[in-house]
Chain A
Amino acid sequence: MSETVHVVEPVERAGPPPRPAGRRNALSLLRDALLRRREASVLIVALALMAYFQFTKSIFLTHDNLRNIAQATAPNAIVATGIVLLLVSGEIDLSVGMTFALAPFLMHYFADFYHVPAIAAILLALIVAAGIGWFNGFISIVLRVPSFVATLGTFYALQGFLLTTSHAYPAEIPKGMEGAIRGWLGAADWAELSWCVVIVVVFHVVLTRTRWGLHTISVGGNIVGATEAGIRARRIKIGNFMIASVLAAFAGIMEAFRVHTIDPNLGGGAQIPFLAISAAVIGGTALAGGSGTIAGAFVGALVLAELQDGFNLIGISANPYFLILGGAILVSMVANQYLSRLRRTGRT
C-alpha cells in the first residue's frame, strides 16, 4: 500500500538512504515483494495452483474451463471488495448474503409488479440495497451495536422478507431484461468477470489513492486519532456499509442473469459472506481493521474458485473442498500475523 516509486528528491536526506540499490539479488527482491505487497504471496499461490491443476488435467486452462473459473470468481470477488472496505474500516457485514439474493427479487418486483422500466428497476434495486447498507451502518455506528451482531440481525430479517414476499419460489427474469441487458449484465461469456475487474480496480484505487481510502484506513486503524484529526468517522463507516450492500446487490443481480432464474437461495445465503470474508482474509486483509487489500481479495477469490474447479476436474468430491478451504484460511491468517510482525519490526 505504501508507494513503491521513489521520487527523485532535490532535498538532502538526513542519514544514509534506507536501501542500497546495488546489492539486490532476486531472492531479496522476492522477500521484499512478499513483505511489502500482501497480494504477492497469494498471487504465487494462485499461480502455483494453476500450474498444478494444468499439469494434472490439461483441460484446466481451456477456454471453457477458464470461463467456469471466471464465473466462480467474479461474484465472490465483487462482494469481497465491499467486505474489504468494511474490514479495513473496522466493521463487518454478514447481511450481504441476503442482499445478494434479495436484489434480483427487488428488481423483479419493481419490473413486473410496478411496471418500472428495466434499467430503472435495476437502479431502484441498487438504491434499496444502499438503504439496507445505511440501515446496517446506522444500527452499528449510531446505535453502537457491534456490526457482527447488527448485520446478523439484518441477515435474518432480510431472509424473512425475501421468503415471505417470494413465497420461497423462484421467479423468471423480467421480460424486458432478456437479451441485451441480461447479456451485458452477467449472462454473456465474460461479462461478470469484466464488471468484476472494473469494480476491483476502481475500489483498489479508491482504497489506496484517495482521501476516502486513507480515511477508511484511519478510522479502522485509530478511530480516536482519526476523529481528533477531524475525520468524520461515522460518515466513512456508514458509507462503506452502503458500498458493500450495493456491490453485493449488483453481484446478485448479475448472478441471477447468468443462471437465468431468480432464486431465493441464490448464492446459498450465509455462504456468500463467508466466502467473501475467506477471499479477503486469504488475500491478506486482517480482521483487526486498518489494513487490507482489494486486489488481494480478488486473487483470494480466484484461489477459492481454482480449488473448487480443480477438485471437480480431478474428480475429488466436493466435500474435501471445505477441508482445504478451512486449512487455507488458517494458514493464511497465521502467515499474515507472521508477515505483519516482520513488516513492523524488520527494515522496510
Chain B
Amino acid sequence: MATDSTPIPTQAPAPAEAASDEVLRVEHIVKRFGALTALSDVNLRLGRGEVLGLIGDNGAGKSTLMKIICGYHRPDAGRIFVNGEEVALRSVDHARAVGIDTVYQDLALVNELSVYHNMFLNREKVWWPFLNNRRMRRLAEEHLADMGVGIPDVGVEVAKLSGGQRQAIAVARSVYSDAKVLLLDEPLAAMGAKEGALILDLVRDIKARGEVSIIIIAHNYGQVLEVCDRVNLLQHGEITFDKRAADTSLVELNDLVVAEYRAARARRSAGG
C-alpha cells in the first residue's frame, strides 16, 4: 500500500490546493515497534505558511509521527514529500538540511551559554580559529528584535531566562536557520498563561510572514486552536479528523476525544 500513488489521501474532505502550495506531504506512514503498531496509516499534508495543530491523546502516536517527520525514526512503510519531492529522511541532520527543524520539549538549549551562543549553537560564526562573538551578538539581537522577542541582553546565560523566553529563543533559532517546516513539540507544556501567550504571539508573527510552515504537536489543544489554520486529530495511529480550525470548535474536539476514550474503554471491558 505504500506504493499507492493516489494524491493527497486524506480521510476528511480537504480544501483542494495545488501541489506547489504544499511544503510537506506524508502518505500512508506505518511504524511498528515489535508487536506494537504505533502508526497504522497516517496521511498528512502541510500547506505553505500554514499552521497545523496535530492533536491527540497520550499514546496516540504523536511523538512517533513527529520523530518520523524530523528524521529520527524511519517509517516501516509510507512516503514523505518535501516541496513535492519524495525524500527518504536518513537522520535529524538530513531532515534539517531539507528544511525540517524541530523545537523539542527540552529545547536543546545549553543553560550555561549566552542567548547568542545558543542561537548559533553548532552554526557559529567564526573568524577562524576564533568565535566571532560580536557578529553573533549583533545578528542575534537583530533577529530577535525582528521577531519581536524581547530579550534585554543577549549576553546573559539562558539559565536566567523564563520558560517562555527560552522557548521563544529555541523557535527563533529554528526560524533563523532557514527552516521551512517547523515542528513544535508541546510548546505550551508546563507554561503559564502569560508565557504561553508569548509563544502564541510568536507563532502568529511567523504565520504572518508566511515563509515558515508550522506543525504544533499538543495534547492540550485549547490554546493551540487559537493560532492554527487547520487541526488534525491523531487517534490510535491514524488521522481521524482533518478540518479547518474555523470550522471546528473546542467542544467538537473534546467530544471526539471523549468518544474515542469511551469506545476504547468499552472495547477493553468487552474484551476482558
A→B interface (CB under 8 Å): 2-3, 7, 9, 11-18, 205, 209-211, 214-215, 217-218, 220-222, 224-226, 228-231, 290-291, 343-345, 348
In contact, B129 and A210 (Cβ under 8 angstroms): yes
Instruction: Give A209 to B117 CA distance when docked, in angstroms.
Output: 11
Q: Which residues of the other chain, A, contact B96 by a CB distance below 8 angstroms?
A: 230
CB distance from B77 to the nearest CB of A (A): 27
What are 11 A-B pairs at a CB distance below 8 A?
A2-B114, A211-B131, A214-B113, A220-B112, A221-B113, A222-B110, A225-B107, A225-B108, A226-B110, A230-B92, A348-B155
Given contacts A217-B113, A228-B92, A231-B122, contact A222 B145 (CB under 8 A): no
The CA-CA distance from A9 to B155 in the complex, in Å, is 13
- A3 CA to B156 CA, complexed, in Å: 9
| A7–B133 CA distance with the chains assembled, in angstroms | 10
Contacts of B108 in A (CB 8 A): 222, 224-226, 228-229
B150, A348: Cβ atoms closer than 8 Å: no
B residues near A, CB below 8 A? 92-93, 96, 102, 104, 106-114, 117, 121-122, 124, 126, 129-131, 133-134, 137-138, 141-142, 145, 150-153, 155-157, 159-160
Where chain A touches its partner, the secondary structure class is: loop
Q: How far is the CB of A230 from chain B (nearest CB, A)?
A: 5
Contact of A211 among B93, B124, B134, B137 (CB under 8 A): B124
Given contacts A221-B112, A229-B122, 12 further A-B contacts (CB under 8 A): A3-B114, A9-B141, A12-B145, A13-B145, A14-B145, A214-B121, A222-B109, A222-B111, A225-B104, A229-B108, A290-B111, A290-B112
Expressed in whole angstroms, the minimum distance between the Cβ of A9 and any Cβ of chain B is 7
Closest residue on chain B to residue A228 by CB atoms: B108
Say whether A18 contacts B153, CB under 8 Å. Answer: yes
Which residues of chain A are within 8 angstroms of B104 by Cβ–Cβ distance? 225, 228
Output the nearest chain A residue to B160 by Cβ-Cβ distance. Answer: A344
Q: Across the interface, which residues of B come within 8 angstroms of A226, CB to CB?
A: 108, 110, 121-122
Check A209 against B130 for contact (C-beta < 8 Å): yes
B-side contacts of A210, CB under 8 Å:
126, 129-131
Interface contact A7-B110, CB-CB below 8 Å: no
Roughly how many angstroms separate A3 CA and B133 CA in the complex, as a whole number?
8
Kindly name the residue among A14, A205, A220 whose own CB sees the greatest number of chain B CB atoms within 10 A: A14
Chain B residue numbers with a CB within 8 Å of A222 are 106, 108-111
- Contact of A11 with B110 at beta-carbon distance under 8 Å, contacts A18-B153, A231-B122 already known: no
Q: Report the Cα distance A348→B111, complex, angstroms.
A: 15
Q: Are B156's CB and A348's CB within 8 A?
A: yes
Contacts of A16 in B (CB 8 A): 152
Bound complex: CA of A224 vs CA of B102, how far in Å?
14
A13 to chain B, nearest CB (A): 7
Q: Which 8 A-B pairs have the closest CB atoms?
A: A225-B108, A290-B112, A221-B112, A14-B150, A228-B108, A221-B110, A229-B122, A229-B121
* B164–chain A nearest beta-carbon distance, Å: 15
Residue in chain B with minimal CB distance to A340: B159
With A209-B130, A217-B110 known as contacts, the answer to whether A11 contacts B138 (CB < 8 A) is yes
Give the interface centre of B112, B145, B151 by most chain A CB atoms within 10 Å: B112
Bound form: Cα–Cα A76–B73 in Å: 47
Known A2-B157, A214-B131; contact A18-B152, beta-carbon cutoff 8 A: yes
Report how far A343 CA is from B138 CA in the complex, Å: 24
Q: Which of B102, B107, B110, B152 contacts A14 (CB 8 A)?
A: B152
A290 to B152, CA, bound (A): 24
Bound together, the chains give a CA A208 to CA B241 distance in angstroms of 51
Q: Return chain A residues, CB-CB under 8 Å to B152.
A: 13-18
Question: Does the CB pair A7–B134 fall under 8 Å?
Answer: yes
In the complex, the answer to whether A290 meets B141 with C-beta atoms within 8 Å is: no
Tell me the smallest distance from the CB of A258 to a CB of chain B, in Å. Answer: 32
Q: How far is A11 from B134 in the complex, measured between Cα atoms in Å?
A: 13
> Most chain-B Cβ atoms within 10 A of its Cβ — which of A217, A222, A345?
A222
CB distance from B72 to the nearest CB of A (A): 9
B122 proximity list for chain A (CB < 8 A): 215, 226, 229-231
B145-A11 in contact (CB<8A): yes
- Are A348 and B113 also in contact (CB < 8 A) when A7-B134, A214-B131 are? no
Minimum CB–CB distance for A212 against chain B, Å: 8
- What residues on B are CB-neighbors of A224 within 8 Å? 106, 108
Chain B contacts for A15, CB-based, 8 A: 150, 152
**Min CB distance, A291 to chain B, in Å?**
5
Find A230's partner among B93, B113, B134, B145 (CB 8 Å cutoff): B93
Q: Report how far A33 CA is from B131 CA in the complex, Å.
A: 23
CB-based contact B106/A225 at 8 Å: yes
- Name the one of A12, A215, A225, A343 contacting B109, with C-beta atoms under 8 angstroms: A225
A217 to B113, CA, bound (A): 8
**Complex formed: what's the CA distance from A345 to B162 in Å?**
11
Q: Report Cα–Cα, A13/B145, bound state, in Å.
A: 8
Most chain B CB within a 10 A radius of its CB, from A7, A220, A228: A228
The one of B92, B102, B113, B126 that contacts A218, using a Cβ cutoff of 8 Å: B113
Tell me how far the C-beta of A15 lies from the nearest C-beta in chain B, rounded to whole angstroms.
Answer: 5
Closest to B70 in A: A228
A218 to B123 CA separation, bound complex (whole angstroms) = 13
Q: Which of B111, B133, B155 contacts A221 (CB 8 A)?
A: B111
